[in-house]
Structure 1
Amino acid sequence: MSFTNNPLEPIHDAFTVANDCFKVARRTIARQHGELLERTQFVGATLEEATSALDSAVEQASDLVILALFATFERWVIEHLQDAKQLISVGYPASYSAKLASKFEDAVEWWRIEEILGLFEVEVDEQLIMRAKQIKKYRDWIAHRNARKPTPPKATPEVAFEVLTDIIEQIHTTHTRPAEAEAERMGGPN
């Protein structure tokens, strides 16, 4: 992925490390390295109990990563739109445009993410927008666990990272002025 300041990467990287830790824990338990299990909940646990606890932890970690990825994505998109107010504020008449820009910056914070994503439907692949909305539904289900609502299709952290990163990249590409893009390509500041 070519986007150099992807805000989702630290979350994805931490998830990758956590998954590796789960693998190490599974191997440690399976090989019964008792000295490595000291001062953990796995001391005295059967292989089945330990495996069940790890499976549950892996599922929880995956769900929490979805929450973190989408929340970070949502914040990035909102801040991107708030930065767009600078373009609005140079309009005519200046006093009206400045007030409009300020109102826009404050109001965008309260827009629904589905509405915000709709602004980018011309510039971002339609399938990506649809997939982001599906991830959002799963994220909402994780956060609220409303038993009266059916469980939406599950999203994995890997898929969420890929889809949300692709959207960020497409927005970044279409919203970066040519001079800024050249400076970024050359390794300079945005």
Structure 2
Amino acid sequence: MKSNSQLAPVYEAFEVAQDCFCVASATLATERSADSSDSIDGVKGRSPEEVLDEALKQTEELTVVALWAVFERDLIEYVRSTVKWLSNGRPESYARNLVDKVECEAEFWRVGDILDLFKGEIDTHQIARIKEIKRYRDWIAHRNPRRSVPPAFSPEEVYGHLTELWGRISEAHCVAPETTSRAEVGPFSAGDRDRDAPVPASHVRSPPSTRPRRSVDRPRSDDR
């Protein structure tokens, strides 16, 4: 199985969109200063500033949803691939049936239960933080009024936490970080460090961006 992580491209696309909002905001400010009559039209009774603010908010939230979707898919695929080493167990028929069952049913496991599999090698506080991101993602997607609004995470925070987790998993499982595909991976002992068990390179912790960060000057809502 070969797969490239799309976490980095998703976040980079958000950065491009954010820069576009910055350009639009700066252009609007320039036009405002040059037009004292305040004749710049908004959309459906809202000012251009309000429209930009809402569009940026929606972009941030959709980026969080997209990042989580990529992470969850990669997590499921990682679990499905790591159980293949069990196929060498005995008796052979039992081992093969066990691997087949996990590969088929991992798709339907709760992501919280999958994350719990890494307890003992990953700090429990880090796992809890990832679960909080999941709660925020669910709130964005469903807006269930019967549930309390969870703490919000920015796209930068989500990208950072998710890539950091993959870095921890790679370290704990002795996975070579420089490779870009996942073969048959599993938890290895120190003597197995040279085995070919790669995962996507972007699963190793890296800074979200090396270029200066820019943001639209706007107040962040506390009720998001």
Which TM class, normalised by the smaller chain length?
A: 0.7 to 0.9
Matched, 1:137 2:135: yes
Greater helix fraction, Structure 1 or Structure 2: 1
Partner Cα distance (1:142, 1:99) in 2: 39
Residues 7 and 159 in structure 2, CA contact (< 8 A), matched pair in contact too: yes
Q: Quote the RMSD (CA, aligned, Å).
A: 2.2
1:91 CA drift (Å)? 1.0
C-alpha distance after superposition, 1:25-79 (max 9, x if no partner): 111111129xxxxxxxxx7339x71110111011111111111111111111110
Structure 1 residue aligned with 2:15? 16
Structure 1 residue aligned with 2:41? 44
TM-score w.r.t. length of structure 1: 0.82
Structure 1 residue aligned with 2:159? 161
Structure 1 residue aligned with 2:149? 151
Q: Provide closer, same or farther for how the CA distance between residues 181 and 49 of structure 1 changes in structure 2, counting only shifts above 3 A.
A: farther
Q: Which runs of 5+ in 2 are unaligned?
A: 33-39, 176-191, 200-224
1:93 CA drift (Å)? 1.2
1:181 CA drift (Å)? 7.3
Partner Cα distance (1:151, 1:180) in 2: 45
Secondary structure of 1:149 counterpart: coil
C-alpha distance after superposition, 1:134-183 (max 9, x if no partner): 11000000010011211111111111111111111111222225114799
Partner Cα distance (2:160, 2:150) in 1: 19
Partner Cα distance (1:109, 1:103) in 2: 11
1:89 CA drift (Å)? 1.1
Partner Cα distance (1:65, 1:163) in 2: 14
Structure 2 residue aligned with 1:173? 171
Equivalent AA in structure 2 for residue 25 of structure 1:
A
Of 52, 66, 69 in structure 2, the residue corresponding to residue 68 of structure 1 is 66
Matched, 1:111 2:109: yes
Residues 82 and 108 in structure 1, CA contact (< 8 A), matched pair in contact too: yes
TM-score w.r.t. length of structure 2: 0.70
Q: Provide closer, same or farther for how the CA distance between residues 180 and 12 of structure 1 changes in structure 2, counting only shifts above 3 A.
A: farther
Matched residue count: 170
Structure 2 residue aligned with 1:31? 30
Partner Cα distance (1:104, 1:92) in 2: 17
